[in-house]
Structure 1
Amino acid sequence: MTRPRCRFPSVALVGALSLVLTAALLPTVGDVPANAAAGGPITIAAAGGPTTLAAAPGAERWNVDLSVVDRDDVNVRRTATGLRLRTARPTGRSAHSPHSAVAEGMLLSTSRTLARPATRVRAEITASVPAGATVEAQVRGWRAAGWTEWRAATAGAVFDRPVTQVQARVVLTAPSGGATATVRGVQLTADAAAAVSAATPGRTYRVYATRIGLVGELTANGRTVQPRDHFAALPSRRGLSPLNTGDYTVRVCTTSGSRCEYAPVWDVGPWNTRDDYWNLSAVRENWKDLPQGRPEAQAAYQSGYNGGRDQFGRTVLNPAGIDLADGTFWDGLQLTTNAWVDVAYLWTGGGPRGVVGDGPLNIRAGASTSYAIRGLAARFAHVPIQCYVIGQSVAGPYRTTTRWNRLATGQYVSHAYISGVYGGSVPVC
């Protein structure tokens, strides 16, 4: 879910109103973009004139297909005038959930294979946006190590290395019961004009975990929460996986290291929706003065940061930086109450990844089912594979094999349950 970033008046349009929606160019107040001034059509511009980012020679342009709304999309519909929210009612979450703050919807496009690798993608949105509503175009890119995080594209999304495919999503929000934006077009431009920085290694932080519950309700990516479900929620859309994928997977372990689960990120929360606290300050979307790895909710709860409130102005009642679905909480980690956990944000790392095709899959202490269970790998999770060993033969849904993949020291899974491997070749241990 995305909170309101800026407000635009309702406008009767004679022609297309092009809205370049970019928080990077807006003045901010306490990490929250200031509202745009009212009074007619608005093109947000940088100081000194309109925002114009010249494309590099050989730039590739295409339009996002807004006409197809299917099961990957959440609370949006196609109308004769454009893409709109299906309903402007929040999804009915618990009081601390960000989903109770505003109505939201999301359209996920198909990925596009580029004619040549690119390091920057920019979006131009044609829409009418009434007061209180928002529209944002976000993109991610594919490289050998997997998908990048989602980035807002209206100011130009820059990737840390060239990407060969691009996928876009269009996120709409509206106040409860309020008017929704109407999006008529989104054009993307990919080029290689931006400088890139070195890739960062995988990051691990100790944060406070709470249990999601909410069986029968919808996650931010459109999944209906199941009993004993296996997924996680983080307080930023930058690490949100599309439905039934594990493109963004976390490894969550008890502080003793005795139990771990590899779980896809399928929801947004707890508390905030723009707090990618695992990123460097230069990249972090909000709360840039906090230390890397410190969730805003933790700082608000422990030290009164932001007046002890979240981005929506609600009093923070616990320091949670991750939410865990019931199966992850009870079965994967065998927790009985909210607790501190060690979380690895696996997409920030590199190296070979295996996709768990059937699960939850037992993680064993060795290459045999006779070894102790050390945790679980959820279905669709993308797990790091350090190397492989030969062990007990296992017949699984994809093959019968004696190969066991080592995910970390003392963590092995049978290759019979891995639907595919990407990101490089896997060596023998």
Structure 2
Amino acid sequence: MATPIQNHLKASIIAGLVAMVLAVPFIGLYTVSTDQGLVVQTRWPWVLWSGLIVLGGSLAIALVRDVLAARRAAKPKLAAGTKPKRDDALTAKLSKGFAIGITLFAITLPFMPFSDRYIMDVGTTVLIYVLLGMGLNVTVGLAGLLDLGFVAFYAIGAYSFAILSTTLGWGFWVCLPLSGLIAALFGALLSMPILRLRGDYLAIVTLGFGEITRIVILNWQSFTGGPAGISGIPRPSLFGLSFDRRPPDGLTSFHEVTGISFATEHRLMFLYMIALTLVLAAAWVIKRLRALPIGRAWEALREDEIACRSLGINPVASKVSAYAVGGMLGGFAGCFFAARQGFVSPESFTFMESALILAIVVLGGLGSQIGVVIAALFIVLLPEVGREFADFRMIVFGIAMIAIMVWRPGGLLSQRVPTIRLSSQKGDAA
């Protein structure tokens, strides 16, 4: 009879061979342009190394799992009716301290000596995905409703601002709440036909909603511009002060009023601070909502819908509100995205965006706002750090995501503990 180590070694060898086969078209073969045309060349050592890395990694993971399982088995089991001791106060303090620390860092980032245009641009992108992740976290993490078409709300918010600003001449600060409300309305409308759906059927419908939205935007050329998109979207202003070198009609240039020489970094810093303000406001609102009856209804709906009905909680209102709030945050992110880019097109709102946002929520941990921030940093920054290895950065990105899911299957900071719990009464009758 084979020992566990032999079984692990056999499985690792098979995994390594499969990795080598898959690595042949991705790594082992590449083309070089010559005078005679494209010539196919090979990199067989790279294929061999990929197989060895997968073999060693698979074997190491299996052995570590065995060690951890042995340690768990060696721990004394608790008696029936007892609960493991947890220092909830310490955990809460650490989470709060981390949140305060990362908030202070985000606020002071534009004024750091090392801050430049690239850092501001990447930081703004991270904040956009944090806002999108928070919106989807309301739907998926708190209410437990799967949504594979969240990019639709992102697109609705972006096109709402683009159309209102280019046709009616409305500014960013007027269109920002309107974009959120329009996206929330579509979120409520989406929830109506899927109230009785669960699981795979819910995923298919939400996926279809995202694709239908993109196709409508792509083909309604008279309204959305079709494949050409909408350009000339005005940028945000600060009390009538524009950060552009040549301000639009009716606005005054910021550098002329303040006497500061014009620099593109000022506009990037302003956009960054707007995105940071939106993220902080969204985090505060979600935290307050979780403490309200609607937030507790979301968490109860996530755990057991039948129990919700038996307790008198209206699941219809809970689902509609979850999709509306999540869609509103997606609309805010889309409005800011359009203002930042100055141009929107259907190519920016594909299914891959929905998958990326869902990955942020899942990796960060369902229901955890801090987890969403960490996951957004990881997903946005890892490809940026790997630009020096442009040919392989997506492979490294995929391996890193797999490693996180193996190490933390529930996400980095999964939070399924109810926001408000009933404390035990001292002196209860025996």
- Whether the TM-score (by the shorter chain) exceeds 0.5 is no
Q: Which structure has the higher relative contact order (CA within 8 Å, separation 6+)?
A: 2
Please, what TM-score do these two structures have when normalized by structure 2?
A: 0.19
Q: In terms of Rg, which structure is larger?
A: 2
In terms of fraction of residues, the more strand-rich structure is: 1
Please, what TM-score do these two structures have when normalized by structure 1?
A: 0.19
